[in-house]
Structure 1
Amino acid sequence: MRARRLVIAIVAVVSFFGPLVAAAPAQDTLGGHIGFVLPLATRANGTTSTISDDFVIGFPTGITVRRSQTFAFDLELVPVIQNDPLHVDLTLHPGAVWGLGNGWGAGARLAFDVNKASWGFTPILNHGLLNVGRGATLFGELVVPIRFQDDGNGTFTSIGVGVHIGVGF
C-alpha cells in the first residue's frame, strides 16, 4: 500500500511539472545525396590511366548529419563498376564537410575498399550549382582519391582526380 502511494505521488509530480519543461530543439538535421562519379585520371604503380583507357563509373549514395550550417558528417557508400575486366567494387567513404560560403564546401573522406587490400582518403571540393526544388541542390564535386594498395607483389600508392555530380537533399 505504501509503495502504491509513492508511485501515485511520483506520477502526480511528474504530470504537473512535465508540461512546464520546454522541449529542446534538435541541433542536427538529416539529409543525403545521390549521384555519379567519373574517375578522370589515376596514377598507380608507375602507370597512368585515364577514363578513355578503362571506363569506370561509381554511384555515390550518402547519408548526411548536418551538425551546423557549416559542418556535416557524411557516410557515403560507393558501388563502382569497372568494364575491363567487368566487376563491381564497394567503397565505404565516411567523412566530414565544412561549408566555406557562397555554396562552396571542402572536406575529406576516409576510404575503405571492401574485399580489397586498399584504403586511403579522399580530399573533396564541392559547389552547389542549381536549386532543384524542395531543399534539393544539384552539385559538382572535385575528388582526389589517394589509396594505399597491395596487389600481392608489394604495396604502392595511387592518386587520382575525378568529378562527382549529384543531388543533395
Structure 2
Amino acid sequence: MKNKITYLILLLSLSFSFFAQQPSPENTYPKIVGYMGILHPITTWSADGTSTSNFGSSYTIGFPTGINILKSDKIGFSFEFVPTIRSENGVSKVNNFLFHPGVMFRFKHGLTLVTRAAFETGGRYGFTPVLNKVVKKNKHSNYFIAVPLPVRFGNDKPTSYTLGFQFGVGFF
C-alpha cells in the first residue's frame, strides 16, 4: 500500500511538472492589458479662436490610464480614464475628468487607431480619434506615442478641435 501511494504521488508530480513546463501560446485571446501615460494638449481651435494654452500663461496635462480588452490581433475595446490638471497663476487643480471608452483597430507595425467616445465632468462631450504607435516593445511592456484629436461639443461653448501629444507605457 505504501508503494502504491509513493507511485501515485510520483505520477501526479510528473503530470503537474509536464503541464507546468508547456509553453503558453504567444497570442491567446481575449487578452487584457493596461496602460498609463501623459497627455499634452498642443493647440485648440474653435469659433472663439485658437488657443495654445501650454505655451502661454497656463499649463494643462492629462494622465490617461486604461484597460484594453483585446479580442484579436486586429480589434479590441478600451476603457480610458483621464484626470486633467491645470496650472494657472500659481494655482494648480484637477479641472476635468474624462471617461473615454472606444474601439481599437490594430494594424501591422505597432499602429493602432482608437475611436473613442468622450464624456467630461466639465460638461463637454464628443469623440476622439487617436493614432497610436508602439515605439519599443519589451517582454511584458511597451512604450508608445499617440496623437489624439479631441472634438468636443456642449456646455454652452462652441465646438472645439484639439491636437494633442501623448506618450506612455503599456503592461501585459
TM norm. shorter chain > 0.5: yes
Which has a greater percent of strand? 1
- Helix, strand or coil: the match of 1:102? helix
1:100/1:27 Cα in 2 relative to 1: closer, same or farther (>3 Å)?
A: closer
Percent of residue pairs identical: 32
**Does structure 1 residue 52 correspond to structure 2 residue 55?**
yes
Q: Please show how residues 83-98 of structure 1 align to structure 2 within 5 Å.
A: 83-84=87-88, 86-88=92-94, 89-98=96-105
**Does structure 1 residue 103 correspond to structure 2 residue 106?**
no
* Separation (CA, whole Å) in 1 of partners of 2:130 and 2:124: 19
Deviations 1:81-112 (A, max 9, x none): 01126331110000111112111111211110
Q: Which residue in 2 is equivalent to 1:11?
A: none
Q: Size of the alignment, in residue pairs?
A: 139
- Asked whether the 8 Å contact 1:149–1:158 carries over to 2, the reply is no
Q: Which residue in 1 is equivalent to 2:133?
A: 127
* Separation (CA, whole Å) in 1 of partners of 2:29 and 2:129: 26
**Does structure 1 residue 81 correspond to structure 2 residue 85?**
yes
Deviating beyond 4 angstroms after TM superposition, the runs of 4 or more aligned structure 1 residues are none
Q: What amino acid maps onto 1:129 in structure 2?
A: V
* Separation (CA, whole Å) in 1 of partners of 2:160 and 2:166: 19
Q: 1:143 aligns with which of 132, 143, 148?
A: 148
Question: With structure 1 as the length reference, what TM-score do the two structures score?
Answer: 0.77
Unpaired segments ≥5 residues, structure 1: 1-25
Q: CA deviation at 1:44?
A: 2.9
* Separation (CA, whole Å) in 2 of partners of 1:159 and 1:90: 18
Deviations 1:129-150 (A, max 9, x none): 012x332110000100000032
* Separation (CA, whole Å) in 1 of partners of 2:35 and 2:99: 15
Q: CA deviation at 1:47?
A: 2.0
Unpaired segments ≥5 residues, structure 2: 1-27
Q: CA deviation at 1:124?
A: 0.7
- Asked whether the 8 Å contact 2:48–2:158 carries over to 1, the reply is no
- Helix, strand or coil: the match of 2:107? strand
* Separation (CA, whole Å) in 1 of partners of 2:47 and 2:81: 26
Q: What amino acid maps onto 2:30 in structure 1?
A: D
